[in-house]
Amino acid sequence: MNIEVRYYTKTGNTKKLADAIAEEVGVEAKPISVPITEETDILFLGSSVYAAEIDPQVKKFIARLDGKVKMVVSFSTAAIYQCAFRQVKKHVNAKGIKVADEEFHCSGQFNLMHKGKPDNKDIANVKEFARKIIEK
Residue at 136 is within a domain: no
CA distance 23 to 28: 7
Q: Whole-prediction pTM value?
A: 0.91
Residue at 86 is within a domain: yes
Alpha helices in the chain (DSSP H): 13-25, 56-64, 85-94, 120-135
Residue 92: give its domain's CATH number: 3.40.50.360
- Domain of 91? 3-131
For residue range 17-46, what is the model confidence (pLDDT) as tens digits? 999 999 999 999 999 999 999 999 999 999
Total domains, the chain: 1
Residue at 55 is within a domain: yes
CA distance 19 to 54: 20
Cβ proximity of 32 and 56 under 8 Å: no
